[in-house]
Structure 1
Amino acid sequence: MDYSTLIISLLLYLGVTVLLSVLAYRHTRTKSDYLLAGGRTHPVLMALSYGSTFISTSAIIGFGGSAAMFGMSLLWLTFCCIFVGVFIAFVIYGKRTLQVGKELGASTFPEFIALRYKSEFIKKFCALVIIAGMPLYAAAVMIGAGRFLEQLLHLDYNLAIIIFAVITAAYVISGGIKGVLYNDAFQASIMFVGMIILFCMTYSKLGGFTTAHQALTDMSHLVPESMVAKGHLGWTAMPALGSEYWWVVVSTLVMGVGIGVLAQPQLVVRFLTVKGVQEINRAVVVGGLFILVMTGVAFSVGALTNVYFWQTLGKISIAAVTDMTTGIPNIDSIIPLFVSSATPTWFGYLFMLTLLSAAMSTLSGQFHVIGTSLCHDLYNNSTLSSNRLSILVALAASVYLALKLPGSIIAVATAIFFGVCAATFLPAYTAALFWPRATKSGVIASMVMGLSSSLLLMTFVHAKEATALGLSNILFGKSTLVGIPWVYIDPIVISLPLSAVTLITVSLLTEKVSAVSLAEKTY
């Protein structure tokens, strides 16, 4: 290990991070600066911040590991992330969010929904969902960074998590959303370069595009029988229609994240940081290109790790990361193992900075949103000091979960949070933008239905969570209350339509909010 190169790289990276944080701190003087960067963020800066907050170690490590397991079918998630997560999110939702948000005078996502429907309950309910749920997603991001540092630098995993979290929280606490935006842009640049180099190195090592993909296709006979029984047809094919793996890929990984992105509070607030709708239009190309490179490379390389490990170890990827004692694979270790064994030392350090950037950019947005939800939305005590103190609470909760969650959890935890956000927030958020007939009662009923149905399905129906929680087994003597295929279908497939239908039905049966000035900030 070249410690001098490692130390110099880390010092340069941290030096720029500190410099940008100090710059943000000097320009953060008001609550508006802290929450929305004054509402005058450059569109390229906003797009890079949006993209780097959206794409974290969850995508690179967690979903890259999932691609090693399920294959190139995860590229459908890349398409969904670009079409839904950028085009629809920016052009349809983003512009309208900016217009309505500025009229309402909203500074946070819960406040946005609450002001539209004149409801203090809605604001606190949204805040509680964010405060309770987002640390799970933040923990998944931390795990991705921690596992790579553990693999590359041979650091103790617990120590890596704590050091990493403290550094991230430091610049969010000091600079607010400006510190987040400045560092996001810097980190996005590193991520972009790192992933392009990884893409080129992987295909070069495996003989080029045609040779690499043909080799992966020819490995279909190496799929273990246990995976074939669940619908796996090879790493360049979709799983068998209607099989367990097909439902996991389509409903959990593609739909859960691809649709759930529209209702992510830490992403929605980015639209409120720019001056006007023209800035959002100008941000679409930058955001789309960034997402294409980040997810496209991660999922392609993830699948191709099977070729590399088979050629060098005589094992497919999940076998290469299977614990010899327990026999349980940890797919979150596949990408770190590939980078540490298949690439030069200097690139391992660059990729370490890429992952640190991916994790820190996402965590900074998460910490900022959890903190503002706690003090601004839940307790109505939004001072600079209270916002900064709230971030410490978010940090502690996220670190605790990162240290306690099991292996192979990154993609699952991310999809769970995205799915819960979609079922709870998306119908209400959409109605706030496009359906004036929606009522306060309809929105409240929709949110409660979305959240409760998601939690019930996870506890008693969807096998992945129900088995882990064990409550169904304790109460009813079996891990789930239903059979195939419902045990494989992600809760979002049921809970999101239920939430939407509830909003429409209750709104049509109740009186809509009286006409008032959108700028009126009373409930």
Structure 2
Amino acid sequence: MNLSILVPLLIVYISVMSLLAYYGYKKTVTQEDYLIGGRNTNPLIMALSYGATFISTSAMVGFGGVASVYGMGLLWLAFLNIVLGIFVAFAVFGKRIRRMSLHLNASTFSTFLGKYYESKFITIFSGLMIFIFMPAYTSIVLIGGGRFIQESLSLNYNIALLLIAFIVGVYVITGGIKAVMYTDAFGALIMLAGMAVFLVLTYYAVGGVLDGHHALRALTNQVPEALAENGHNGWMSMPDTGSPMWWTLISTLILGVGIVVLAQPQLVLRSMTVNSDQSLYRSVLVGGVFIFFMAGSVYMIGPLSNVYFMETSGQLAMEAAGGNIDLVIPKLINSLMPEWFVYLFTLSLISATISTVSSLIHVQSAAFSEDILRTLGFKRRVAKMNTAKLGVMIGIVAAIMLAYILPGGVIAQATAFWFGICAAGFLPSLVGAMFWKGSSKRGAEASMITGFSASVFGFLFLKSSQSTAFGLSQALFGKDYLLSFPWTHIDPLVYSLTLSTVVFIIVSLKTKTKSEPVQTEWPHEKIAER
């Protein structure tokens, strides 16, 4: 490490982050400020914070490594990220969520659903699901950041992990969502600069766009036999339709991450932080450009890393990384990039880690203090901010513990796990609340229970990659998974979301009361008054 470069960069970075966190702390006066930024966040800040939360180390490191195996087909995920994750999330879903949360006086995702359906069960159950399962996603974001710092700066992994967790804990506890969003926005700018330079230099190293893609196509005859048997047709082609790799690419990586972003509590929350529909519309362009560069770039760099490593070491990227795909991007940066860029990209990864972890921890603490304790009536006995702080500490400890338990190369799979259970559990009820007057309380409750149960069962006992890693199926039944192909490679999202949607519709039709739906169209002057 060149300390003469690294130390000044870190001092400037930490100073700016500290000032922004302090600014957020000073602006946090009420509980609404702590939870949703007082509903008056600048649309540029919101869009950058949303993007930084969306694109974590799981995308920049984990999915970059996955792309080095699956190839350019992963660009379909970038397309869904922009269309669904930005345009639909802001202009369609975001507009209704903002208006309805204002009318319902809801400041968390679970409270929003619970108040709409007039169900304490929905508030508590969804809060518990967030508080119990979200640490699994938080932990793999920590893993991605820790592994990159370990590889790039030769820093002990344990120290890197604990340092990131400590930084996040300090400013989430003190400044709430305002501190989170201000620091997210700053981190997003660093991430954008780092990824843009990374993309340009990668293409330059492989001979440019045309030559680089031609060289990648020429590597088709180098596809390992094991991958070819599972349907791999080269890094410029989609896998054979219906093959194990095709099912994983389509159901787990593209659909499993591309669609379910609409039901991510930490992202849905951002729509509650602005004061008008116009703010959401302005956020679309900023968010779209950010996701295009961040997601699209890493899904191109991953496959191209095979060209670079083959030319420099005679190995494919996965071989050069010692079989751990989470190390492909760090290895590429160390090998390809000048020293100054290693430090710039290190700051990008630190920013990605901190921005996502801080948002996840904030949502977990809100679920603990607002959705669970307050709904159960315990919050009256303890100061409001204290329960939120306790939720932060519990969430961080749980994430750190899981970061030590989970195996290597698990970043992308764990991301799909969290995204999948959120979609199956939350999406039908969320969509129903916004767009279907026939939705009912019982339908939403049954859908959530069905979605979470089917999704978790699929990950624990059917999907081979996750069920083998968890080991519960082996412990109970003496085999890693219960059914044979294609169930071993179909993401549980496919059947759990379908099942929870069908249950939601059927039960709602049978139990719908005559009560009027929540009004979602508000006069502009009434919104301005609030």
Query: TM exceeds 0.5?
Result: yes
% identical equivalent positions: 46
- Deviation digits for residues 194-239 of structure 1, max 9, x if unmatched? 0000011111111111111111110011111011001111111111
Paired position in structure 2 for 1:311: 311
- Deviation digits for residues 368-388 of structure 1, max 9, x if unmatched? 000000011100137223212
Which residues of 2 match residues 119-268 of structure 1 at below 5 A?
119-268=119-268
Contact 1:116 / 1:518 at 8 angstroms: preserved in 2?
A: no
Contact 1:104 / 1:518 at 8 angstroms: preserved in 2?
A: no
Paired position in structure 1 for 2:332: 338
Paired position in structure 2 for 1:102: 102
Contact 2:111 / 2:123 at 8 angstroms: preserved in 1?
A: yes
Q: In the alignment, which of 336, 346, 351 is matched to residue 345 of structure 2? A: 351
**Aligned with 2:259: secondary structure?**
helix
Paired position in structure 2 for 1:459: 460
Paired position in structure 2 for 1:83: 83
- Deviation digits for residues 51-101 of structure 1, max 9, x if unmatched? 110110000000000001111111010001011111111111110111111
Contact 1:440 / 1:513 at 8 angstroms: preserved in 2?
A: no
- Deviation digits for residues 412-468 of structure 1, max 9, x if unmatched? 000100000000000001111111211111100000000000111122211112222
Contact 2:57 / 2:352 at 8 angstroms: preserved in 1?
A: yes
Equivalent position amino acid for 2:19 in 1: L
Equivalent position amino acid for 1:360 in 2: I
Equivalent position amino acid for 2:6 in 1: L
**Aligned with 2:242: secondary structure?**
coil
Contact 1:59 / 1:295 at 8 angstroms: preserved in 2?
A: yes
Paired position in structure 2 for 1:399: 400
Instruction: Give the stretch that moved more between structures: 481-490 or 220-229.
Output: 481-490
- Deviation digits for residues 239-259 of structure 1, max 9, x if unmatched? 111110111110000111111
Equivalent position amino acid for 1:281 in 2: Y
Aligned counterparts of 2:146 and 2:358: Cα–Cα separation in 1: 16
Paired position in structure 1 for 2:527: none
Contact 2:86 / 2:287 at 8 angstroms: preserved in 1?
A: yes
**Aligned with 1:420: secondary structure?**
helix
Q: CA deviation at 1:405?
A: 1.1
**Aligned with 1:219: secondary structure?**
helix
Aligned counterparts of 1:120 and 1:198: Cα–Cα separation in 2: 48
Paired position in structure 1 for 2:416: 415
Q: Which runs of 4+ in 1 moved over 4 A?
A: 516-519
Aligned counterparts of 1:206 and 1:284: Cα–Cα separation in 2: 33
Aligned counterparts of 1:481 and 1:37: Cα–Cα separation in 2: 46
Paired position in structure 2 for 1:274: 274
2:478 corresponds to 1:495: no
Q: CA deviation at 1:390?
A: 1.4
Structure 2: state its 5+ residue gaps: 521-530
Contact 2:84 / 2:259 at 8 angstroms: preserved in 1?
A: yes
Aligned counterparts of 2:224 and 2:518: Cα–Cα separation in 1: 62
Instruction: Give the stretch that moved more between structures: 249-258 or 466-475.
Output: 466-475
**Aligned with 1:92: secondary structure?**
helix
Contact 1:117 / 1:513 at 8 angstroms: preserved in 2?
A: no
Aligned counterparts of 1:186 and 1:124: Cα–Cα separation in 2: 34
Aligned counterparts of 1:395 and 1:200: Cα–Cα separation in 2: 36
Q: In the alignment, which of 360, 363, 371 is matched to residue 354 of structure 2? A: 360
Paired position in structure 1 for 2:367: 373
Aligned counterparts of 2:459 and 2:207: Cα–Cα separation in 1: 43
Q: CA deviation at 1:152?
A: 1.1
Contact 2:368 / 2:387 at 8 angstroms: preserved in 1?
A: no
- Deviation digits for residues 393-423 of structure 1, max 9, x if unmatched? 1111111111221111110000100000000
Contact 2:461 / 2:473 at 8 angstroms: preserved in 1?
A: yes
Paired position in structure 1 for 2:506: 505
Paired position in structure 2 for 1:288: 288
Q: CA deviation at 1:165?
A: 1.1
Contact 2:149 / 2:346 at 8 angstroms: preserved in 1?
A: yes
Aligned counterparts of 1:209 and 1:314: Cα–Cα separation in 2: 21
Aligned counterparts of 1:395 and 1:477: Cα–Cα separation in 2: 34
Structure 1: state its 5+ residue gaps: 323-328
- Deviation digits for residues 121-172 of structure 1, max 9, x if unmatched? 1100000110111111111111111111111111111111001111122111
Aligned counterparts of 1:404 and 1:9: Cα–Cα separation in 2: 32
Q: CA deviation at 1:285?
A: 0.7
Paired position in structure 1 for 2:44: 44
Aligned counterparts of 1:345 and 1:154: Cα–Cα separation in 2: 13
Aligned counterparts of 1:25 and 1:484: Cα–Cα separation in 2: 52
Aligned counterparts of 2:150 and 2:513: Cα–Cα separation in 1: 55
- Deviation digits for residues 279-317 of structure 1, max 9, x if unmatched? 111110111110000011111111111011111111001
Q: CA deviation at 1:183?
A: 0.5
Contact 2:437 / 2:517 at 8 angstroms: preserved in 1?
A: no
**Aligned with 2:408: secondary structure?**
coil
Count residues in correspondence.
513
Aligned counterparts of 1:400 and 1:259: Cα–Cα separation in 2: 29
Aligned counterparts of 2:229 and 2:44: Cα–Cα separation in 1: 47
The structure-2 alpha-carbon separation of the partners of 1:457 and 1:335, relative to structure 1 and needing over 3 Å to count, comes to same
Give RMSD over aligned pairs.
Answer: 1.3
Q: CA deviation at 1:517?
A: 7.0
Q: CA deviation at 1:103?
A: 0.7
